[in-house]
Structure 1
């Protein structure tokens, strides 16, 4: 039966008001091609005007590892659970960089893309999701660097580390790092629409948070030397993830199912809160940004 003359048929209906918990995941899936375009844009635009290009993916973790080895390993004498110091630090840096990149870049997504958000409709969640996915490229490159260093130590110093069966949890660890960084970043970007000062605190805050995570020291070292503060480090959800990451690749670390379970629960709560707050803020952020 043909529709009445005064009835109009639409392929897409955009509504100004919807439920707070209407997260529009169906729309995100429908716009998955746009997600791929944003991922490609992020990768190309960031490195197209640099001399060394993607080589920066290698340079940053290598120099950071060298600095950490000299300062924390040699000068401060921090133990690394018997692991070779460069291998210990690079493993932690690889995991931490992915999480911190997801958090810091997502935390400014409203400010950085205000001109696009104000002109055309698409599910706003596409933009932070594209950041998480594009960061996987950098993470993959740095992971290959870790694999090269592991191969070197396997030949030069046999028995200096051991890959454990926890490596099967590797996809879960990536998912947890991405979800935690995404959720925390969404909460921050929603708050920066009204409180711009938070933008200046994010990078500094993430650097401080790294020292409260087991990137430059193992959890066992924190418990022995800073026992009164060790519980704070254990409450950090990234601690359990990095310890599990290091245990999976190097066979050393305070890995327990309880710690991963705790990290997963905190991550789910942060992600859910971030998506809900983002969903609420994106309705009228153009008027306040």
Structure 2
């Protein structure tokens, strides 16, 4: 079964004397054609998917959306105890609460979006097999729904951050705060590109979904979430950490709001280049697989 696009047909296409076709459903032929026009036409459907994600996630739960606040707070508390008090890792002289919460807020959006996008074909195979709609609307809706969650958790971070700005002189926020929307867009596109690659591959290799979940957890330790980049003094290890495109995103976010950390335009430029390349590769693979994935799944 092939994934298809809806293409406007010329008015000259007539089925018979009494009936005229206004649309023709045909398979997509161009490899790099994402069908963004169709995605825009189905924007109402994307919003329905976003609403569905919220309802399905917190339906029949006692605390409901309060988990948006509980999850980062509990994670931050765990980091403070394990890495701050026991392991005594450096936080660049910043209060541990705001230091760890900054990393958790940024990393959670990327990790949750990537994990959810990577299973989009398998998790929605029943819907894909019954009705036509642009397949890209599903991963796009995941990116948007997680943006809403990010803003809720970001509001929590801002509340804690403002408290320490007023009461602690160690925080030195700067104009790079203006890069927050760009960092959010960068994370969204990066997770979308990687997610499209893994979602395409998991249609044949189901083990990849479990491998990705485990890999994302390990990747966090290769990202300056629980430690600052300045604490990595060995040039080899520092280079390995910087090879992770999320490293510069977390460091830039933390540098903007806390005034400590490592910020270089070259590091951020590498993350942008990585995102463009991975989004390009993800587009090719996604377009190739979506034509016949229902036969595989």
- Normalization by structure 1: what TM-score? 0.95
Cα pair 2:15 2:21 within 8 Å, conserved: no
Aligned residue for 2:155, secondary structure, equals: helix
Cα RMSD of the aligned pairs, angstroms, is: 1.4
Residue 253 (structure 1) aligns with? 261
**2:279 matched residue in structure 1:** 271
Gaps (5+ residues) in structure 1?
none
1:89 and 2:127 correspond: no
Q: Which residue of 2 aligns with 1:178?
A: 188
- The Cα of 1:181 is off from its aligned counterpart by 0.7
Tell me, what secondary structure is at the counterpart of 1:134? helix
Aligned counterpart in structure 2 of residue 139 of structure 1, from 150, 155, 164? 150
Say which of 73, 78, 84 aligns to 2:84. 73
User: What's the CA shift for 1:60?
Assistant: 0.6
| Alignment partner, residue 173 of structure 2 | 163
- CA-to-partner distance for each residue in 1:65-91, whole Å, 9 max, x for gaps? 011011111111111111111111000
Equivalent in 12, 16, 19 of residue 30 of structure 2: 19
Q: 1:6: Cα distance to partner?
A: 3.5
Please identify runs of 4+ aligned residues in structure 1 that moved more than 3 A. Answer: 2-11
Corresponding position: 1:35 with 2:46: yes
Aligned length: 285
- 146-155 vs 189-198, greater mean Cα deviation: 146-155
Whole-angstrom distance in 2 between the partners of 1:5 and 1:181: 44
Tell me if 1:280 matches 2:291: no
Shift of 1:10: 3.2
2:215 pairs with one of 172, 196, 205:
205
Deviations 1:200-251 (A, max 9, x none): 11111100000001111111102x2x44311110011000111111111111
Matches of 1:47 and 1:186, distance apart in 2: 25
How far apart are 1:17 and its partner, in Å? 4.4
- Paired position in structure 1 for 2:230: 220
2:6 aligns with: none
Which of the residues 112, 119, 126 maps onto 1:108? 119
**TM-aligned CA deviation for residue 5 of structure 1:** 7.1
Distance in 2, Cα, partners of 1:227 & 1:29: 46
Unpaired runs of 5+ in structure 2? 1-10
Match of 1:244 in 2: 252
Q: Match for 1:192 among 199, 202, 213?
A: 202
- Residue by residue, what CA displacement relative to the aligned partner does 1:141-180 show, whole Å, maximum 9, x if unpaired? 11011111112212332x1212110111111100000011
Residues of 2 paired with 1:9 and 1:283: CA distance? 27
CA distance, structure 2, for counterparts of residue 212 and residue 228 of structure 1: 13
How many angstroms apart in 2 are the aligned matches of 1:193 and 1:88? 39
Taking structure 1 as reference, are residues 31 and 11 closer, same or farther at Cα in structure 2, changes over 3 Å only? farther
Pick closer, same or farther for the CA change 1:6–1:262 going to 2, 3 Å: same
Alpha-carbon shift at residue 13 of structure 1 (Å): 2.1
